[in-house]
Amino acid sequence: MSLRHFLAPTLAGGMMVSVLFAQETKPKTASKEEEGRYRSALLFANVVELIRDDYLQPEKTDYDQLTYSALRGLLSSLDPHSQFLDPENYAMIRTETEGQFGGLGISVGMVDNQLTVNVPIQGGPAFRAGLMPGDRIFKIDGKGIQKLTMTEAIRKLRGRPGSTVTLTLFRPTEGRTWEVPLVREVIQVPTLADVGLLPAGLTGGEKIGYLRITQFGEKTAAEFDQAMDRLGKEGAVALVMDLRDNPGGLVDSAVELVSRFVPPRTLVTATVGRQGAAARSEYLAEGTARRVQWPTVVLVNGNSASAAEIVAGALQDLGRAVVVGELTFGKGSVQTVQAISAPVTPAVGVRLTTAHYTTPSGRKIHGVGIQPDITARMTSAEEKALYESRSPGLRKSGQATAEVVDEPLERAVDVLRGWKVVARRTAPAR
């Protein structure tokens, strides 16, 4: 018996739930899975009909809208990244051109059920205005967003380049609430920053190169090559690669970067789905003209996520870098967007978590994070001072006045100086 046959009496009659369950009979030969599917579909149909019959405001009982609301709750109950895509959201995902939207330059997520700034992208409007990781967004243009999904809130943050949006924010570390108007821009920000030799006073005269990757985009590998050329010309013989506050980005870009450190066809990361090994996909290093031979330290913190964790975990597993800092965020799941195969117009879809990433040795990243080889932490005040030192807007306004104490960077330099000492002392023996 088909699902339509099961539901027809309910949809046509609009009877009470108790009567319906008493009257309906399930197939005698049905499997447990089929019985579960039957019960679930019948329960949903009965509740929808009860709402349509008795709810006080009939204008809110459209079949499509009730179904969409139920599916939003269903998908969001699975994990923070799965979601139902109604026609508007599904069309937006299908037609959106990467990097060509008007936005504020922030990565956001849900923390304690509140929309929270993960990382402002360096150079973007939010960064220039002084927004920091951990800031909570309570209102957009004066309207509360508690009832919005994260996707709906993000859609309100985006808009026509040149248009203004006002955010109401709360900073837990300071206990203050404030409003800030921001002008949307087309977000096309270089993914590398602060390339150069570290100060001789910090390195004891050793020429140690430094670069910070703010996110992983299509041009990251090319920008990395240019940065390494520059550092090489300046005499660098070791490297600190800073992935702190890097929210991730394109996995293919992360694989490209790791390819600069390891031989071709080396396993960089893998995805494992519900069927385990049968659903495993591998990402292998590409052949590149550049092979980085310098001793390397990767800096991470609790805001290093996704593609940044893939890079740190791969270089750690493959023995190509020492990881220094704090346990990373632990975002290593794979979401796929799938159209719903049903007679629905306009089209709808779902974004569903279908797999998780592992490091080359098979370590799971999602919900676990990458544990550094050397733990080095910063206080909230030190993190704030470091962040403000990078913000030209705060420097110009005189707000960024605290001295920057960067213990993770100091530990990275210690590692690389020790590495050089060992290399010098063992060179004659070779």
- pTM higher than 0.75 for the full model? no
Cα dihedral 53, 58, 62, 68 sign? negative
Mean of pLDDT values over 15-25: 36
CA nearest 392: which of 221, 193, 111?
193
CA nearest 194: which of 31, 412, 390?
390
Contact 151, 96 (CB under 8 A): no
Residue with the larger pLDDT of the pair 122 and 202: 202
What does the pLDDT look like over 275-294, one tens digit per residue?
766 678 999 999 888 899 99
Tell me what pLDDT residue 182 has. Answer: 95
Domain locations along the chain:
3-61, 100-186, 192-425
Return the biggest CA–CA distance within the chain. 91
Alpha carbon distance 263, 101 (integer Å): 37
Mean of pLDDT values over 399-413: 79
Percent of the chain with pLDDT over 70: 83
Q: What is the CATH number of domain 100-186?
A: 2.30.42.10
Q: Is the peptide bond before 58 cis (omega within 30 degrees of 0)?
A: no
301 pLDDT band, cuts 50/70/90, is very high
Catalytic residue among 304, 331, 333, 391: 331
- Kindly report the CA angle at 246 between 263 and 299, in degrees rounded to 5? 65
Alpha carbon distance 28, 1 (integer Å): 10
**Residues pairing with 323 in the sheet:** 298
Contact 106, 126 (CB under 8 A): yes
Question: What is the β-pairing status of strands 349-358 and 333-339?
Answer: antiparallel
Q: Enumerate residues 6+ apart whose C-beta is below 8 A from 25.
A: none
Cα dihedral 139, 145, 149, 152 sign? negative
Tell me what pLDDT residue 410 has. Answer: 96
Show the DSSP H helices in 234-272 as ranges.
251-259
CATH topology of domain 192-425: 2-enoyl-CoA Hydratase; Chain A, domain 1 (3.90.226)
- 3-state percent breakdown (helix, strand, coil) of the chain, nearest 5: 35, 25, 40
Catalytic residue among 86, 242, 245, 317: 317
Alpha carbon distance 153, 121 (integer Å): 18
Residue with tokens 């704090």: 326
4 pLDDT band, cuts 50/70/90, is very low
Whether 364 is a known active-site residue: answer no
Give the phi and the psi of residue 192 in degrees, each rounded to 5: -115, 145
Whether 331 is a known active-site residue: answer yes
Mean of pLDDT values over 266-282: 85
Question: What is the β-pairing status of strands 296-300 and 322-325?
Answer: parallel
Kindly report which listed range (149-158, 206-215, 347-356) carries the lowest average pLDDT score. 149-158
Question: What is the β-pairing status of strands 374-375 and 349-358?
Answer: unpaired
Q: Enumerate residues 6+ apart whose C-beta is below 8 A from 199.
A: none
Residue 23 to residues 4, 20, 227, Cα–Cα distance (Å): 16, 5, 73
What does the pLDDT look like over 168-207, one tens digit per residue?
999 998 899 999 999 998 876 678 988 999 999 999 999 9
Q: Is the pLDDT of residue 10 over 80?
A: no
What does the pLDDT look like over 144-174, one tens digit per residue?
998 887 778 888 898 888 899 999 999 998 8
Whether 306 is a known active-site residue: answer yes
Catalytic residue among 107, 253, 304, 306: 306
What does the pLDDT look like over 61-80, one tens digit per residue?
999 899 999 999 999 899 88
